């Protein structure tokens, strides 16, 4: 179980983690001070999405923020082009590849995210040097807080920093997305890498996935706290569910495109147009489309409400989002439904919803600061009683995107 976390405890956590990381670096590669080259430390945060689920690949909006759990990389440059990599999360010999030769994916699988980012940068003609590097991350692996994007962006920023190069964060995000597509075989949208690379402290990001334009909206921690509850349950999937949802959305697009060639994604479909097609679309396609069309509208509205500090209405939208993901998109789980329902029994909780692609992972709640401890207490009591599982709970501010610490 995660120890109680607040913004103040995470400062000491971070100092301890950095010291442990440098210790691990020394064990793998020799003392950081015995070599005249400087050991740099790079950080890249995890992320959570406030609202806007399964909207990214439909050209809609998402509304994520970067969170306190983060990946750290300690790294030092090498002249021979060799990259030697270790992770505190995975045992085994050092992973090795060279930026002077074509990089292929392979074993161990965890390193494919880093291999992919290096290869994408090299393919883009960027002159990289080699590095010795150790990764340590407090973003739970596979917990839906995008440990993968944190690793990708941290690796990219490490390689660029050691080469003395700068890259626009959005470009780095696109490089990392390509790495995830081609090296990890995950056809992800652009949200994760964008918020991890370009997040802003104290702000959530309303991201238009169609043109990648961004609006940063303040999240005032004195009035509103974000609590993330990891259900710790992932339902066994055949792996086809995500692709199936995408195909059902595409089936909707094909229908509307016949009547109007201007419709290329569900972003182009209004709720009125959708409703008028209820009797002709297959029922399941209709419900999938209804989730996406209404969720896109909820997402832009949520950003406007946060800007106006209208937290009650923001909370209601989050509940509607959850209901739509549960009923229409069918990607929730009994555990996520339970966490949402139980969170809402705590006074001072504005709203809660599943966050991430679904079938497991986390619930996000937005709450009054005074409700944080009662919520934590309540969930730690009832969730294990009802499921036999102890959840991890993170209380987090909105943090900055990836940066060079040292
Ligand atoms: P998530 O929801 O956390 O992004 P993914 O399945 O997309 O889950 O990504 C998890 C993968 O990211 C891991 O299998 C591993 O390849 C990589 N990863 C995450 N954390 C670490 C770490 N600390 N060290 C090395 N690789 C990591
Ligand atoms: Mg991921």
pLDDT tier at 8 (50, 70, 90 boundaries)?
very low
Helix or strand or coil: residue 317?
A: helix
**Helix (H) and strand (E) counts in the chain:** 11, 13
0.85 cut: is pTM over it? Answer: yes
Question: Residue 46 and residue 355: Cα distance in Å, rounded?
Answer: 13
Nearest CA to ligand 1 atom 7: 148
Peptide bond preceding 108 in cis form (omega within 30 of 0): yes
Looking at residue 6, its pLDDT comes to 42
Nearest CA to ligand 1 atom 23: 137
Taking a C-beta distance cutoff of 8 angstroms, is the pair 195, 56 a contact? Answer: no
Neighbours of 170 (CB within 10 A): 16
**Ligand 2 center to 123 CA (angstroms):** 23
Looking at residue 109, its pLDDT comes to 94
Q: Was 53 annotated as part of a binding site? A: yes
Sorted by where each starts, the structural domains of the chain and their CATH numbers stand as 7-219+400-404 (3.30.230.10), 225-396 (3.30.70.890)
Query: Closest Cα to residue 341, out of 387, 396, 292?
Result: 387
Looking at residue 13, its pLDDT comes to 80
pLDDT tier at 3 (50, 70, 90 boundaries)?
very low
Helix or strand or coil: residue 89?
A: coil
Q: What H or E segment, with its residue span, contains residue 404?
A: strand 403-404
**Ligand 1 center to 142 CA (angstroms):** 6
Q: Which ligand sits closest to the CA of 150?
A: 1
Question: Residue 355 and residue 188: Cα distance in Å, rounded?
Answer: 15
Question: Residue 143 and residue 150: Cα distance in Å, rounded?
Answer: 13
The answer to whether residue 279 is catalytic is no
Q: Was 220 annotated as part of a binding site? A: no
Reported as a single tens digit per residue, the pLDDT across 57-98 is 999 999 999 999 999 999 999 999 999 999 999 999 999 999
pLDDT tier at 9 (50, 70, 90 boundaries)?
low
Taking a C-beta distance cutoff of 8 angstroms, is the pair 62, 50 a contact? Answer: no
Ligand 1 proximal residues by C-beta, below 6 Å: 87, 89-90, 110, 113, 135, 137, 141-148, 151
The percent of residues in the chain predicted with pLDDT above 90, rounded, is 89
Taking a C-beta distance cutoff of 8 angstroms, is the pair 212, 72 a contact? Answer: no
**Ligand 2 center to 59 CA (angstroms):** 19
| Mean pLDDT, the chain, whole residue set | 95
* CA geometry: angle 370, 374, 378, nearest 5 deg: 160
The percent of residues in the chain predicted with pLDDT above 70, rounded, is 96
Nearest CA to ligand 1 atom 5: 142
Helix or strand or coil: residue 199?
A: coil
Nearest CA to ligand 1 atom 26: 110
The mean pLDDT of 241-262, rounded to a whole number, is: 95
Q: What H or E segment, with its residue span, contains residue 157?
A: helix 147-162
Looking at residue 218, its pLDDT comes to 98
**Ligand 1 center to 176 CA (angstroms):** 13
Nearest CA to ligand 1 atom 27: 110
Instruction: Choose the weakest-confidence range: 4-13, 274-283, 363-372.
Output: 4-13
Looking at residue 237, its pLDDT comes to 62
Cα dihedral 245, 250, 256, 262 sign: positive
Cβ within 8 Å of residue 30, ≥6 positions away: none
Reported as a single tens digit per residue, the pLDDT across 121-151 is 999 999 999 999 999 999 999 888 999 999 9
3-state percent helix, strand, coil for the chain, nearest multiple of 5: 45, 25, 35
Beta-sheet strands, E only, within 220-315: 225-234
Q: Cα 306 from chain centroid?
A: 20
The mean pLDDT of 351-375, rounded to a whole number, is: 96
pLDDT tier at 31 (50, 70, 90 boundaries)?
confident
Two structure tokens written together for 250: 């595409």
Q: Which atom of ligand 1 is nearest to the CA of 114?
A: 26
Query: Closest Cα to residue 280, out of 261, 256, 248, 263?
Result: 256
Q: Was 166 annotated as part of a binding site? A: no
Beta-sheet strands, E only, within 138-294: 203-208, 214-218, 225-234
**Ligand 1 center to 148 CA (angstroms):** 4
Looking at residue 83, its pLDDT comes to 98
Helix or strand or coil: residue 329?
A: coil
Looking at residue 235, its pLDDT comes to 79
Q: Which ligand sits closest to the CA of 140?
A: 1
Two structure tokens written together for 22: 């440098």
Beta-sheet strands, E only, within 38-158: 40-49, 61-62, 64-78, 82-87, 90-98, 130-137
Taking a C-beta distance cutoff of 8 angstroms, is the pair 309, 368 a contact? Answer: no
Reported as a single tens digit per residue, the pLDDT across 269-278 is 999 999 999 9
The mean pLDDT of 292-308, rounded to a whole number, is: 98
Q: Which residues pair with 227 in a beta bridge?
A: 365, 395
> For the chain, what is the radius of gyration of the CA atoms?
21
Two structure tokens written together for 221: 């921690």
Query: Closest Cα to residue 51, out of 359, 368, 317?
Result: 317
Helix or strand or coil: residue 216?
A: strand
Q: Was 313 annotated as part of a binding site? A: no
Query: Closest Cα to residue 22, out of 72, 71, 69?
Result: 72
192, 211, 310, 392: which is the annotated catalytic residue? 192
| CB under 5 Å of ion ligand 2: residues | 146, 148
């Amino acid at each position: 179980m995660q120890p109680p976390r607040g913004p103040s405890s995470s400062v000491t956590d971070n100092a301890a983690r950095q010291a442990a990381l440098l210790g691990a670096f020394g064990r793998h590669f020799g003392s950081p001070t015995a070599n005249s080259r400087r050991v740099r430390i790079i950080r890249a945060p995890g992320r959570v999405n406030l609202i806007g689920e399964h909207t990214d690949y439909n050209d809609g909006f998402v509304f994520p923020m970067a969170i306190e759990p983060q990946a750290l990389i300690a790294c030092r440059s090498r002249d021979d082009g060799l990259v030697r990599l270790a992770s505190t999360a995975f045992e085994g010999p050092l992973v090795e590849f060279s930026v002077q030769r074509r990089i292929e994916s392979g074993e161990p699988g965890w390193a494919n995210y880093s291999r992919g980012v290096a290869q994408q940068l090299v393919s883009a003609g960027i002159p990289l040097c080699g590095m010795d590097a150790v990764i340590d991350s407090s973003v739970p692996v596979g917990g839906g807080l995008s440990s993968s994007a944190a690793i990708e962006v941290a690796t990219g920023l490490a390689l660029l920093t050691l080469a003395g190069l700068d890259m626009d964060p959005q470009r780095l995000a696109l490089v990392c997305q390509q790495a995830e597509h081609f090296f990890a075989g995950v056809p992800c949208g652009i949200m994760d890498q964008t918020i991890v690379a370009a997040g802003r402290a104290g702000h959530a990001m309303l991201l238009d996935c169609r043109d990648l334009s961004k609006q940063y909206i303040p999240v005032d921690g004195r009035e509103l706290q974000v609590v993330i509850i990891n259900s710790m349950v992932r339902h066994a999937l055949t792996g086809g569910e995500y692709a199936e949802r995408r195909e059902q959305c595409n089936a909707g697009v094909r229908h509307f495109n016949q009547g109007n060639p201007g419709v290329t994604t569900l972003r182009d479909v209004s709720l009125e147009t959708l409703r008028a097609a209820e009797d002709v679309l297959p029922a399941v396609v209709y419900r999938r489309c209804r989730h996406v069309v209404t969720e896109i509208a909820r997402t832009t509205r949520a950003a406007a409400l946060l800007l106006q500090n209208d937290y009650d209405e923001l909370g209601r939208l989050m509940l509607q989002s959850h209901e739509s993901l549960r009923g229409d998109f069918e990607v929730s789980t009994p555990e996520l439904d339970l966490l949402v329902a139980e969170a809402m029994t705590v006074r001072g909780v504005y709203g809660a919803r599943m966050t991430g692609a679904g079938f497991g992972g986390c619930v996000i709640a937005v709450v009054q600061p005074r409700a944080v401890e009662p919520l934590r207490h309540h969930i730690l009591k009832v969730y294990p009683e009802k499921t036999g599982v102890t959840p991890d709970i993170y209380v987090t501010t909105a943090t900055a995107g990836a940066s060079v610490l040292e």
